[in-house]
Amino acid sequence: MSIQKILLQYEPEPENLLRAIKDINKEQKYISEKDCREISKYFSLPLARVFSLASFFDLIKFHPERKKIIKVCSGGPCVMERSLEIIRQIEMLLKIEAENDASPKVKLEIMSCQGLCDRGPIMMIDDQVFEKVKPEMVDDIILNYL
Amino acid sequence: MQIITKNWDKIDPFRIEDYIQAGGYASLRKSIREMDREDVILQIKESGLRGRGGAGFPTGEKWEYSAKTNSDAKYMICNLDESEPGVYKDRIIAEKNPHQIIEGLLIGAYAIGAKKAYIYLNGHYREAAEILKIALDQARDKEFVGKGIMGSAVDVDVEIFQGAGAYICGEETALINTIEGKRGEPKLKPPFPPVCGLFGKPTIVNNAETLANVAYIIKRSAKTFSQIGPNSSPGTKLFLLEGAVKNKGVVEAPLGTTAEELIFNSLYGGGMVSGKEFWFAQIGGASGRLMPRGKLDQTLTYGNCEYPIGAGSILVVDKMADIKDFLYSWAGFFHRESCGKCVPCREGTFRLWEIAKRMKNNDLREKDRENIKDILWTLSNTTFCPLGNFAATAWSDAVKMFEKEIFPNTNKTNNDTN
Ligand SMILES: Cc1cc2nc3c(=O)[nH]c(=O)nc-3n(C[C@H](O)[C@H](O)[C@H](O)COP(=O)(O)O)c2cc1C
Ligand code: SF4
Ligand code: FES
């Protein structure tokens, strides 16, 4: 869907600003400066307002992501189910370090609780969610989904 | 005693007919047809219901502030942002019985005179979003939501607003900011939202579990509700049993139940996973305190208590666990989730995270001990909003309780380059 089409789904009211930004981010995986200008025009709000809202959330990206992003939850309940071992296992397997940008292909991020603690540990590869992951399963998941 | 969980797994969340058959929406009808707004508020006040979002503020009193403020528009918001690590009770209510939340939200909107209500939903909750959307459509079809509710002159429209994954957006003023299309940073109080909230209008923000109690109170009377649990904080509470406890999951228990009962009674947790020995429990999520074995007999209430329940999670940690893993988990969480508005929290959580990472690599320096103390003091005393205090709660307890584990070689002075 084009940006204009997405925008036209919403009345140009401030309460729709985050909704529109999220939709565009979802469609293109990021929002460019040009998009921000269009959003600002459509909502008749200053460009700075659009940037300041969009940049507040980690979910909204300003550049296309070229890496695969692996995320592992490190909330207390997931830690009790060995999620930190999962992180270590991924680090060893892919020879990367969590939160480190060095690898051109993949990044391992530590993630906050997803509210899925009853199905933890939670791991994600891009948008795909894996539940009840065990350290022993990491090799298979990486091999099949990365 | 079941108020919230009563109909779970008995009714189909996708069928409003099931909810109605179980007596659902009768309280909304009673409120609108038989009760004045003031009566509804009085009932909620007399029931003694306190907010289940963490702070335990009396709900009826809060509604009264909004009801008494004159304004051309008012708003009612259900807080379903729920991002506290270890807390997922509101998601389960929404998935098992969405109409129970919606009915409470509508009664609240009627009571304060709001024509517009929002459900502010955690951005990660995909299934709950779907279920709530269908539930709202069905409620609209049955004329419980929208213009002229059940043939009356009462209008309440309900909309879902989904966040974008930030813990601080559960704080009510930050939540309001994001609906207004602004950064999710907290605002200075006063003015308090019940008087001046969304778009500058009186706004009530209530936790989803708080609202899920409302229909019961209207149906069964304030008195019935107020007789459950302790006087100062009546009713039941959803608790989340996690970690090394046998029966994990959501349980409903009267307030005033002790942590010991919740963990060891076969009605609830059923004891420790076999072979594991109790070490401590964290009460209330990542922002909660650490309860040692000797304090397990403390009752959990929203009164003045040593171990605040927060949103109700009870994480049971056994002696095989490493405290450093938890310090790492907490510090990382608050560092990621600090909104950055004020310096003590932005910098403090960042430094604590650095120390936690070093600690995990067994690279703690002698000076860190002093630094940790300073940072924790600063977070506890000088931050703009409670998130900064939360960041220091569990750490402060851990440093006191587990000094030997955290600083194993206290006598040795490491080379310090900082
Ligand atoms: C950092 C922070 C996060 C919060 N997160 C939530 C949350 O996820 N859900 C919630 O209901 N309340 C949360 N609160 C509390 C809200 O600000 C507010 O007090 C609550 O929604 C009021 O509802 P209640 O009176 O029904 O408890 C949070 C508060 C703070 C300071
Ligand atoms: S204490 Fe933290 S979360 Fe609260 S305003 Fe300051 S930086 Fe933001
Ligand atoms: S702690 Fe991992 S999903 Fe809640």
pLDDT tens for chain B, residues 1 to 418: 899 999 999 999 999 999 999 999 999 999 999 999 999 999 999 999 999 999 899 999 999 999 999 999 999 999 999 999 999 999 999 999 999 999 999 999 999 999 999 999 999 999 999 999 999 999 999 999 999 999 999 999 999 999 998 999 999 999 999 999 999 999 999 999 999 999 999 999 999 999 999 999 999 999 999 999 999 999 999 999 999 999 999 999 999 999 999 999 999 999 999 999 999 999 999 999 999 999 999 999 998 889 999 999 999 999 999 999 999 999 999 999 999 999 999 999 999 999 999 999 999 998 999 999 999 999 999 999 999 999 999 999 999 999 999 988 654 555 544 4
Residue B316 has phi, psi (to 5 degrees) of -95, 125
Cα A135 from chain centroid (whole Å):
22
The nearest CA of chain A is from the CA of B39 a distance in Å of: 33
Q: Is the dihedral of CA B330, B331, B336, B340 positive or negative?
A: positive
Q: Tell me the residues of chain B between 78 and 97 that have a Cβ less than 8 Å away from chain A.
A: 82-88, 91
Nearest by CB to B86, which of A45, A52, A113?
Answer: A113
pLDDT at A63: 94
Q: What is the predicted pLDDT for the residue at B1? A: 86
pLDDT of B408: 82
Which of B185, B173, B4 has the alpha carbon at shortest distance from B98? B4
Token output for B161: 């607003």
Q: Which residues contact B75 (CB under 8 A, 6 or more apart)?
A: B114, B116, B117, B118, B197, B198, B199, B201, B202, B203, B204
CA distance B239 to chain A (A): 13
CA of B348 to the centre of ligand 1 (A): 22
Task: For A120-143, write each residue's pLDDT tens digit.
Answer: 999 999 999 999 999 999 999 999
Tokens 């807390």 -> residue? B87
Q: Judge: B321–A22 Cβ closer than 8 Å, yes or no.
A: no
Gap from CA of B349 to ligand 2 centroid (Å): 10
The rounded Å distance from CA B338 to ligand 2 centre is 6
Pairing relation of β-strands A128-130 and B236-243?
unpaired
**For residues A78-90, average pLDDT:** 97
- The burial class, CB within 10 Å (0-12 / 13-18 / 19+), for B225 is buried
Closest-CA residue of chain B to A74: B329
DSSP code, position A48: H
Q: Can you give the pLDDT at residue B417?
A: 45
Q: How far is B349 from chain A (nearest CA, A)?
A: 15
Q: Which of A14, A75, A115 sits opposite B82 (nearest CB)?
A: A115
**Quick check: A79 and B325 CB within 8 A?**
yes
- In a mutagenesis test of the A interface, which of B82, B88, B90, B361 is the best target, namely the one with the most A β-carbons within 10 Å? B88
Q: Which residue has the tokens 């939850």?
A: A73
Ligand nearest to C-alpha B388: 2
β-bridge mates for residue B289, sequence order: B283
Point out which residues pair with A73 in neighbouring strands: A111
The rounded distance, in Å, linking the Cα atoms of A50 and A58 is 15
* Chain B residue with Cα closest to A118: B249
In a mutational test of the B interface, the residue from A7, A118, A128, A131 whose CB has the highest number of chain B CBs within 10 Å is A118
Q: Cβ contacts of residue B313 below 8 Å, gap of 6+?
A: A77, B84, B85, B86, B87, B239, B240, B242, B282, B283, B284, B285, B288
Residue with the two structure tokens 């171990």: B307
Distance CA(B378)–CA(B388), nearest Å, equals 9
- Does A118 lie at the interface with B, CB-CB under 8 angstroms? yes
Please give the number of the atom of ligand 3 that sits closest to the Cα of B88.
Answer: 4
The closest CB to that of B85, out of A49, A53, A76, belongs to A76
Count of positions (residues) in chain B: 418
**To test the ligand 1 pocket, which listed residue (B101, B105, B172, B342) has its Cβ within 8 A of the most ligand atoms?**
B172
Mark which residues 40-99 of A lie under 8 Å from B by CB: 43, 45, 49, 52-53, 56-60, 74-77, 79-80, 84
- Backbone φ, ψ for residue B50 (5° rounding): -120, 150
Handedness of CA B328, B332, B333, B335 (dihedral sign): positive
Give me the pLDDT at residue B410, please: 53
Q: How far does the centroid of ligand 1 lie from the alpha carbon of residue B291, in Å?
A: 22
Show the tokens assigned to B391.
């960041």
Peptide bond into B234 cis (omega under 30): no
> Kind of pairing, strands A128-130 and A123-125?
antiparallel
Q: At what angle do helices B386-401 and B343-360 cross, to 10 degrees?
A: 30
pLDDT at A104 over 70: yes
Residue of chain B minimizing CA distance to A17: B181
Chain B residues with CB under 8 Å of A16 CB are 181
Please give the structure tokens belonging to residue B397: 């307890």
Nearest to B165 among A59, A75, A79 (CB): A59
- Total residues found in chain A within this entry: 146
Say yes or no for a CB contact (<8 Å) between A77 and B242: yes
Q: So what's the pLDDT on residue B403?
A: 92
Helix (H, G, I), strand (E, B) or coil at B225: helix
User: What three-state secondary structure class fits A97?
Assistant: coil
Tokens 């103390």 locate to B373
- For residue B120, what are the contacts with CB-CB under 8 A and spacing of at least 6? B77, B78, B79, B80, B81, B161, B162, B163, B169, B175, B179, B205
Ligand 2 pocket at CB < 6 A? B 168, 186, 338-342, 345-346, 383-385, 387-388
B337 close contact with A: CB closer than 8 A:
yes
* Token output for B310: 């927060």
User: How many angstroms separate the alpha carbon of residue B143 from the centre of ligand 3?
Assistant: 38
User: Prior bond to B13 cis, omega within 30?
Assistant: no
Question: What residues form DSSP beta bridges with B272?
Answer: B245
Q: Is the pLDDT of residue A24 over 70?
A: yes
Omega into B386 within 30° of 0, i.e. cis? no
Does A114 contact B at CB distance below 8 Å? yes
For residue B64 and ligand 1, the question of a CB distance below 6 A is answered with: no
